[in-house]
Structure 1
Amino acid sequence: MKQYNVYRNIRVRALIFGLPVAYFALQMMAVVGSLMAVIFSFSSMLLIAVGFVNAVLYGVLLKLAQEPRLLQIGVSFPQNISNKKITSYEHYDELS
């Protein structure tokens, strides 16, 4: 009888050619756009430039997929967490 292993690594993201699905879709849109540019205005320099641009884009997307914090601009998580209710009223002690 054939035995099957239980797939326990369910949280791993799907990858196509080493890219997450969104990055792969962006790469394919660039490839289709460059193919359209080559078809409608055929030039040998354009063909070389399009190949170079697509290769650079693929390298950049691979780098971003490996280190996603490169795109992070601000702080992703606060320093401290509080359950204190936030209101617009100012409370202060009067010293009189």
Structure 2
Amino acid sequence: MKRYEVYRNIRKGAVIFGLPISLFALMMLSVIGSLLVIIFSFGFRVILAVLVVNVVLYLSLLKITDNPQLFHFKKVFPTTISNKQTTNLDYGQD
């Protein structure tokens, strides 16, 4: 009888071929586009170029998935949140 382990990493999100769903969808769009290019062009060089582009894209998406700080440029939330209205009115000396 087969024995199954309990999947405890449910909060990590769904992963297909090591990619999150959105990046996997991007990869599949690239593959479909590549198939269209291969169908409508009959050159051997074009087929090799398309295969190389897909492999490079897949490897770069894996790299981005493993290290998400590569494209993290700014903070999402400010350091302080305030309801105080900022105005340029001068009320005299404080």
TM exceeds 0.5? yes
Residue 74 of structure 1, CA deviation: 1.4
Classify the secondary structure of the residue corresponding to 1:11: helix
Cα shift readout 1:4-46 (whole Å, capped 9, x = no counterpart): 8765433111100000010000001001101100101111000
Structure 2 gap segments, 5+ residues each: none
TM-score under structure 2 length normalisation:
0.78
Match of 1:53 in 2: 53
Distance 1:19 1:70 in 2: 16
TM-score under structure 1 length normalisation:
0.77
Distance 2:70 2:45 in 1: 32
How much is the aligned-residue C-alpha RMSD, in angstroms? 2.4
Supply the AA of the counterpart residue of 1:87: Q
Structure 1 gap segments, 5+ residues each: none
* Structure with a larger share of its residues in helix: 2
Query: What is the aligned length?
Result: 91
Match of 1:38 in 2: 38
Distance 1:66 1:5 in 2: 24
User: Matched residues, percent identical?
Assistant: 43
